[in-house]
Chain A
Amino acid sequence: MALSAQRRRTRRLALLARLAATPFRSGARPSRESALDLDKAVAALPPRAREVFVLHDVYGYDHTELAQLLGIAIGTSKAHLHRARCALREVLEP
């Protein structure tokens, strides 16, 4: 039991470390204007939905990883992503 808790903890810290090693995106970029629109819309999201959206849709983490990284249930992670995408969709394509 204790070993399992330690494994989970180690895995969570490993995920954080992997995140630390992830360089910021470069290369193909959308137009400045469109990026700033999205930037602003993301900034307006509730904190948890924003975290989940950025980690999932920008950095490509999956829900299992997010659940461990953020200490939430997989279903909760999915719900936050759904909420974030709905809000962003409405802002960007009214």
Chain B
Amino acid sequence: MNHRHALELLDDFLDGELSPALSADVQRHLDGCVVCRAREGQLRRLVARARALPDLAAPVAELWEGLRRRAETARRRPRVGPGLAAWPIAAAATAVAVVGWLSLPSSSPGGAGQIQPSRTVGAAEVAGHAGAIGRLSQVILNVGDMGAQVAFYRDVMGFAIVYPQAAAGDLARETFVRFDTGGAFLVLHAGRAGRAQRDEPRLSFMTDDLDLARAVLVSRGVEVSRVRSPAPGVLVVDARDPEGNAFHVEARVPAQER
């Protein structure tokens, strides 16, 4: 096998896609070619790093979002047979999605779309499931005017852009912009049954100094509510971003000051 041919086959060789005979040919070439061995080492290191890519990787999040959209498009097509009849029609637009959650229809028991589990999970494993799903790492906001929304969250709210890198330029044409806010939690509020489908998800920012945070927002032209206390020890102000997404800034009052 010549050098050029071996280089062409390296990807398939690494991925185990070659026949045993061809794979042995590539291995023989590698044994005698220092250039190809170096290339193989580079590729192996790259793949190892990719396998360990952390969940905060921006391209991954972006990719999931793209696949979610594609899945929704597929779902909107007319159904093709009885096997897919159980697929529900879901809301086309979701104001906020959690990364890792792909909006897909569930299938009927025994239906053609049934997904078989790839392995059997034991009861002990299920009982010790804490942490299996991972942490909520971010909240996604679907925006209409990226330029204006970036300006708001960067310049008014003061969050640093961590993706894309060239954050100083015009980001109006970006499809994906990530801000570092310092952390994110998912919070469920009970006792609002009548509003469950009506109120949009709300972004919540935690501050140490609510008066200061409120003053900063007001000075930047944001209409902010007066400070209210929805629960003992909790103070919040409410506001909306330029596209009407509700958020609030919250502060906790230490017990001895209540």
Contact = CB atoms under 8 A, between A and B. Distances in A.
A26 B134 contact: yes
Contacts of B71: 13, 16, 20
Contact of A35 (B11, B43, B53, B83): B53
B90 interface: no
A50 B176 CA distance: 14
Interface in B25-60: 39, 42-43, 45-47, 49-60
B215 interface: no
Nearest to B12: A78
Contact of A25 (B15, B47, B55, B62): B55
Interface in A3-17: 5-6, 9-10, 12-14, 16-17
Contacts of B70: 16
B132 interface: yes
A28 B49 CA distance: 11
A28 B47 CA distance: 15
A26 B104 contact: no
A24 B55 contact: yes
B113 A14 contact: yes
Contacts of A56: 15
Contact of B163 (A20, A38, A43, A63): A43
Interface in B70-128: 70-71, 74, 80-81, 83-84, 99-104, 107, 112-113, 115, 118
B164 interface: yes
Contacts of A92: 45-46, 49
A53 B15 CA distance: 12
A44 B164 CA distance: 10
A37 to B, nearest CB: 9
Contacts of A23: 100, 132-134
Interface string A62-77: 1100000000000000
A32 B11 CA distance: 27
B47 A13 contact: no
A35 B113 contact: no
Contact of B11 (A14, A16, A40, A82): A82
Contact of A19 (B55, B62, B102): B102
A4 to B, nearest CB: 12
Given A16-B67, A28-B52, A39 B57 contact: yes
A20 B98 CA distance: 12
Given A43-B163, A82-B11, A6 B50 contact: no
B84 A10 contact: yes
Contacts of A9: 80
Interface string A83-94: 001001100110
Interface of B: 11-12, 15, 17, 39, 42-43, 45-47, 49-60, 62-63, 66-67, 70-71, 74, 80-81, 83-84, 99-104, 107, 112-113, 115, 118, 132-134, 137, 163-165
